Chains A and B, each alone.
Chain A
Amino acid sequence: MQTLGLAVEHYVFLAGVIFTLGAIGFLVRRNVLVQLMCIELMLNAVNILLVAFNRVYPANMVGQIFAFFIIAVAAAEAAVGLAIVLAFYRLKGTVMSDEGDSLKL
């Protein structure tokens, strides 16, 4: 199965790289804004996978539809997440996630 001249494995590889980048970025960066962007990276890596595999099974459109759902959820998540970041900044004067430890004893 070729897509744009590429086998589906290429897409899987690409998605894996992007996902790993997002996951590592999320783990190592303290800046909440960057962390949010990393989450977007991971979501979009999954989107690439879904769309690519949908090409392998063109009879149904579940993969593509699911990708749209993920885009919608990601948009909502970004809105809520940014609002939280904003509130967090007003409260603490910083966007570093390790500053938010008020609940810890």
Chain B
Amino acid sequence: MEALLSLFPKDDLTLLAFIVLLPLVGAVVNGIFGKRLGREAVTLMGLTAIGGAFLLSVAAFLILFEAQHESERAVRLVWHGWEWLKLSGPGGAPVTLTVALSVDALSGTMALVVTGVGFLIHLYSWKYMEEDPGYHRFFAYLNLFIFSMLVLILGDSLPVLFVGWEGVGLCSYLLIGFWFDGEANASAGKKAFITNRIGDFGLLVAMGLMLRNVGALDWNGLEQGRGNLMEGMQIIQQIGWLGMKSPVVVNTATLVGLALFLGCAGKSAQLPLYVWLPDAMAGPTPVSALIHAATMVTAGVYLVCRLSFVFVLSPAAMLVVAFVGAATALLAASIAFAQNDIKKVLAYSTVSQLGYMFLGVGVGAFTAGFFHVITHAFFKACLFLGAGSVIHAMHARIHDTDTSQDMRFMGGLRKYLPITFLTFAASWAAIVGFPGTSGFFSKDAILLSAFSSSIVPPQTAVSAPGGPMDVFLWPTWAGSVLYAMGLAGAVMTAFYMTRLFIGIFFGEFRGWKIVKGWKEPEHAHGHDHHHAHETPGPGMKGPSPHESPWQMWVPLAILGALALVAGLVNAHLIGIHLFDHWLEPVFATANQGVKTKGELAEGPFLGAAVAAFAVGVGGAYWVYVTQKGAPAKALAEGSPGLYALVRDKWRIDELYEETFIGAVDSLAEIAVVFDKWVVDGIIARVTAFVVSLGGTILRAAQTGRVQAYAFTMVLGLGGIGWFFVAPHTDYRLRADERNGQYTVALTPGAGYTYRWDETGDGKWDDKEFGPKRELKFALDADKSQKVRFQVRNGFGRVRTGELLVHRPKVDKSGADPSAMEAVTPEMRAAASAAGLKVVAPNRPPPKIPPQPGLLPVPPGQVHP
């Protein structure tokens, strides 16, 4: 500890930069040199980068733990990177953005989970992706993902977080479409990316609003200045003909909360933006485990926790968060009932569990929600990796991606995959809420808070132009409704997860028949080298599924164990509150806005939670084991319409296709018409015609004969020579008409000499040509003077020029006031007689309309 602190002083924790940098180095090395380095080196690089980041995260956690233990309040250790942007805040005050990283209890815990689970999944990918031709690319992306995720977590301000936020989105896109030769994979990647953009729009709007009102975007600044968000903002003008009595004014804090939540809903797959996550399962299974279950999709929950002090300012926004979460939990769980693809079931389960987290943070139970993030990271990563292990084993029999993930062809696998079975069972127990497991404690905490806690509006009134605004109050029925929704979701989760568990591991293996008569297919992906290649034949039994190598089951075992016991760090029921106490200081500000109903007897809630588990699991057992799936089949056949609707995911994708995507497509078609007829039809043709006309004309000059070109050059040379030899009489006249001072300056040139005839009487002032290039003379008002001059150049050639200068009369009509102010010689004389000094008005001379007298007279022309 001492050594650690001496290496990394607490006031500028460089350690954080190293945590972030290690995975970036791994990504760069693997991405650029990976192909030449070979698989061993890529594995070593990828694994050590993440392993190192994990160890450094542990070190940062220890330093933080010490610091928080000493000071008894929220500690945030910052690495102040460098200055990034200068923005202007409220009233034009400058806001300096720095690229800074910070760690506190929340981000320290999250970083531990991300690097820890990330390392286990890297280890797993070692064997899972072994035969893939894009092995180095995979590890480069995975390392880049960990880098972005760490930037997201450790960023000390919203813009830095946003960089990580976009980075994980990019990596998600790259990894979903990792096998980009499949059309479906590529479009799933695009879908994820575009859906996330909608959410990012919300995040950007929230940033802008906070910059405008608070004038800070870093966590400390936002926490201190959050009161400035309590201000009314007009969002819609008063529209008389719609019968509106006044413009629509809302609390800025509500706007900010909703905009932030739009971003969270995109990233964390909540209604209405959840549609991308199930499709994202097109990526390799470790990716589903790491990005689309354990870490990236929880970024939204993390952001709500991070900015909890902003969210609690608006009970309305919090209520939206809670209800969207609960509704998503229910909807996704209902879809999971009818899915047969095991990864799809897990994907909808993830969406549903994310809904739980938002339900938790939405009612102000930030610790409970975040606790579920962590336990979910363990058990869902374990479930996905277990599914990967199952798919890996299934590839002994089949080589088709869809069929190998279909649970209708599985069954009885516990005999062949004992370790996978055990770990899957552990994480199954956690997700269905088996009493004592991690999922039980975290879900129970969320449900309890959903019933008991509510958000109270802050004491400060919302200022608005027309007096303080009405505040939105947390409805009294919300707790019961949210609790009921959560409980129903828990029953459904228990049911479909048990269906999945039974379908994979119990009964008889139904995959044998697939293998008969198969031919060696073209390897779409490489991770299936394990089966023995037997000669296909009619009597062939084929290879049997088998357990995965240690690189794959060790992560499973660790995650399974964590899924079982991790709940004990925050087991309310048996009086353990370690996690609560650890995070308490972070949420201290936010918790001022959270009200909890007094002492509640936990007994009934505990009973309800256990009952939910029992009903769900028991129901699934009865349906799928006792009755061999007959009731489910009967229900599906009894109401085929409903069954098809659920199987097709309530046709939400089709709805979006018809409405939003259709609208955008129509817009694109209109643009195509414009492009075809206006841009291509008129503009392009006219341009082409002009260019070809020019070409036809110029082509005549291109004779292709060297002599013709050379002759042109000689002509050009002759022209230049003539220009040098001929004398030039260009001149410049500087006229100060107010004081009657004139200067004629002739063009300078090498070897030029000049002579003048100032009076224009035909007699040269000097006989000889001299170097005098300028002639100055004075002129009285309303007088003209003719000036003649001669130049002689270096070749002895002489040319004569002349000009006539006329000074206008002083304008006494008053039309031009500046002319009246002109200092005449009489005024000057009178002033000096009185002992005064005359200062000429120090401003530009007035614009004088062109006078015929100022025009040069061409040589030979007589002036009238």
Q: Are B707 and A27 in contact (CB under 8 A)?
A: yes
Q: Are B704 and A104 in contact (CB under 8 A)?
A: yes
Q: Are B704 and A100 in contact (CB under 8 A)?
A: yes
Q: Is residue B574 contacting chain A, with contact meaning CB distance below 8 A?
A: no
Chain B residues with CB under 8 Å of A100's CB are 704, 706
Q: Are B714 and A27 in contact (CB under 8 A)?
A: yes
Q: Are B710 and A27 in contact (CB under 8 A)?
A: yes
Q: Is residue A1 contacting chain B, with contact meaning CB distance below 8 A?
A: no
Chain B residues with CB under 8 Å of A104's CB are 702-704
Closest to A28 in B: B707
Q: Is residue B699 contacting chain A, with contact meaning CB distance below 8 A?
A: yes
Q: Are A97 and B705 in contact (CB under 8 A)?
A: yes
**Given that A104-B702, A105-B699 are contacting pairs, would A97 and B714 also be in contact in the complex, using a CB cutoff of 8 Å?**
no
Contact with B along A73-105 (1 / 0, CB 8 A): 000000000000000000000000110110111
Chain A residues with CB under 8 Å of B703's CB are 104
Q: Are A101 and B704 in contact (CB under 8 A)?
A: yes
Q: Is residue A35 contacting chain B, with contact meaning CB distance below 8 A?
A: yes
Q: Is residue B241 contacting chain A, with contact meaning CB distance below 8 A?
A: no
Q: In the complex, A97→B708 CA distance in Å? A: 11
Per the CB 8 Å criterion, the residue count for chain B at the interface is 10
Chain B residues with CB under 8 Å of A35's CB are 706
Chain B residues with CB under 8 Å of A30's CB are 707
Chain B residues with CB under 8 Å of A27's CB are 707, 710-711, 714
Most chain B C-beta atoms within 10 Å of own C-beta, residue among A26, A30, A35, A105 = A26
Q: In the complex, A101→B708 CA distance in Å? A: 12
Q: Is residue A23 contacting chain B, with contact meaning CB distance below 8 A?
A: yes
Chain B residues with CB under 8 Å of A23's CB are 714
Q: Are A101 and B714 in contact (CB under 8 A)?
A: no
Closest to B706 in A: A97
Tell me which residues from 805 to 848 in chain B have a Cβ below 8 Å from any Cβ of chain A: none
Q: In the complex, A104→B707 CA distance in Å? A: 15
Chain A residues with CB under 8 Å of B704's CB are 98, 100-101, 103-104
Q: In the complex, A84→B450 CA distance in Å? A: 89
Chain A residues with CB under 8 Å of B714's CB are 23, 27
Shortest beta-carbon distance, A31 to chain B, in Å? Answer: 11
Shortest beta-carbon distance, B142 to chain A, in Å? Answer: 56
Q: In the complex, A28→B704 CA distance in Å? A: 15
Shortest beta-carbon distance, B403 to chain A, in Å? Answer: 63
Q: In the complex, A82→B706 CA distance in Å? A: 16
Shortest beta-carbon distance, A36 to chain B, in Å? Answer: 11
Contact with A along B707-737 (1 / 0, CB 8 A): 1001100100000000000000000000000
Q: In the complex, A23→B714 CA distance in Å? A: 8
Shortest beta-carbon distance, A93 to chain B, in Å? Answer: 18
Chain B residues with CB under 8 Å of A26's CB are 707, 710
Q: In the complex, A43→B707 CA distance in Å? A: 18
Q: Are A101 and B711 in contact (CB under 8 A)?
A: no
Q: Are A98 and B705 in contact (CB under 8 A)?
A: yes
Closest to A97 in B: B706
Categorize the interface residue count of chain A.
Answer: 10 to 19
The 8 Å CB contact of B705, one of A28, A101, A105, is A101
Shortest beta-carbon distance, A102 to chain B, in Å? Answer: 8
Q: In the complex, A52→B194 CA distance in Å? A: 76
Shortest beta-carbon distance, A55 to chain B, in Å? Answer: 19
Shortest beta-carbon distance, B43 to chain A, in Å? Answer: 55
Q: In the complex, A97→B707 CA distance in Å? A: 8
Most chain B C-beta atoms within 10 Å of own C-beta, residue among A27, A28, A35, A103 = A27
Shortest beta-carbon distance, A67 to chain B, in Å? Answer: 20
Shortest beta-carbon distance, A45 to chain B, in Å? Answer: 13
Contact with B along A23-59 (1 / 0, CB 8 A): 1001110100001000000000000000000000000
Shortest beta-carbon distance, A95 to chain B, in Å? Answer: 12
Contact with A along B39-58 (1 / 0, CB 8 A): 00000000000000000000
Q: In the complex, A104→B699 CA distance in Å? A: 9
Q: In the complex, A84→B704 CA distance in Å? A: 16
Shortest beta-carbon distance, B700 to chain A, in Å? Answer: 10
Q: In the complex, A17→B710 CA distance in Å? A: 18
Shortest beta-carbon distance, B707 to chain A, in Å? Answer: 5
Tell me which residues from 477 to 521 in chain B have a Cβ below 8 Å from any Cβ of chain A: none
Q: In the complex, A105→B711 CA distance in Å? A: 21
Q: In the complex, A45→B699 CA distance in Å? A: 34
Shortest beta-carbon distance, A98 to chain B, in Å? Answer: 5
Tell me which residues from 768 to 826 in chain B have a Cβ below 8 Å from any Cβ of chain A: none
Shortest beta-carbon distance, A80 to chain B, in Å? Answer: 16
Q: In the complex, A27→B706 CA distance in Å? A: 8
Q: In the complex, A2→B559 CA distance in Å? A: 103
Q: In the complex, A98→B703 CA distance in Å? A: 10
Q: In the complex, A104→B704 CA distance in Å? A: 6
Q: In the complex, A101→B699 CA distance in Å? A: 13
Closest to A30 in B: B707
Shortest beta-carbon distance, A84 to chain B, in Å? Answer: 12
Shortest beta-carbon distance, A62 to chain B, in Å? Answer: 16
Chain A residues with CB under 8 Å of B710's CB are 26-27
Shortest beta-carbon distance, A2 to chain B, in Å? Answer: 21
Q: In the complex, A87→B156 CA distance in Å? A: 69
Q: In the complex, A105→B701 CA distance in Å? A: 12
Q: In the complex, A99→B704 CA distance in Å? A: 9
Contact with A along B248-274 (1 / 0, CB 8 A): 000000000000000000000000000
Closest to B705 in A: A98
Shortest beta-carbon distance, A30 to chain B, in Å? Answer: 8
Chain B residues with CB under 8 Å of A28's CB are 707
Shortest beta-carbon distance, B703 to chain A, in Å? Answer: 7
Q: In the complex, A28→B705 CA distance in Å? A: 12
Q: In the complex, A103→B703 CA distance in Å? A: 10
Shortest beta-carbon distance, B149 to chain A, in Å? Answer: 60
Q: In the complex, A40→B545 CA distance in Å? A: 87
Chain B residues with CB under 8 Å of A101's CB are 704-705
Shortest beta-carbon distance, B796 to chain A, in Å? Answer: 13
Shortest beta-carbon distance, B32 to chain A, in Å? Answer: 41
Closest to B711 in A: A27
Closest to A105 in B: B699
Contact with A along B681-712 (1 / 0, CB 8 A): 00000000000000000010011111100110
Shortest beta-carbon distance, B710 to chain A, in Å? Answer: 6
Closest to B699 in A: A105
Chain B residues with CB under 8 Å of A103's CB are 704
Contact with A along B582-620 (1 / 0, CB 8 A): 000000000000000000000000000000000000000
Q: In the complex, A59→B573 CA distance in Å? A: 104
Q: In the complex, A30→B699 CA distance in Å? A: 22
Q: In the complex, A47→B98 CA distance in Å? A: 65
Q: In the complex, A27→B711 CA distance in Å? A: 7
Chain B residues with CB under 8 Å of A98's CB are 704-707
Chain A residues with CB under 8 Å of B707's CB are 26-28, 30, 97-98
Q: In the complex, A16→B706 CA distance in Å? A: 23
Closest to B707 in A: A27
Q: In the complex, A37→B575 CA distance in Å? A: 106
Shortest beta-carbon distance, B722 to chain A, in Å? Answer: 15
Chain B residues with CB under 8 Å of A97's CB are 705-707
Q: In the complex, A95→B369 CA distance in Å? A: 89
A27-B707, A35-B706, A98-B706 known, 13 other contacts, Cβ within 8 Å: A23-B714, A26-B710, A27-B710, A27-B711, A28-B707, A97-B705, A98-B705, A98-B707, A100-B706, A103-B704, A104-B702, A104-B703, A105-B699
6 sample A-B contacts, Cβ–Cβ < 8 Å, listed by A number: A23-B714, A98-B707, A100-B706, A101-B704, A104-B702, A105-B699
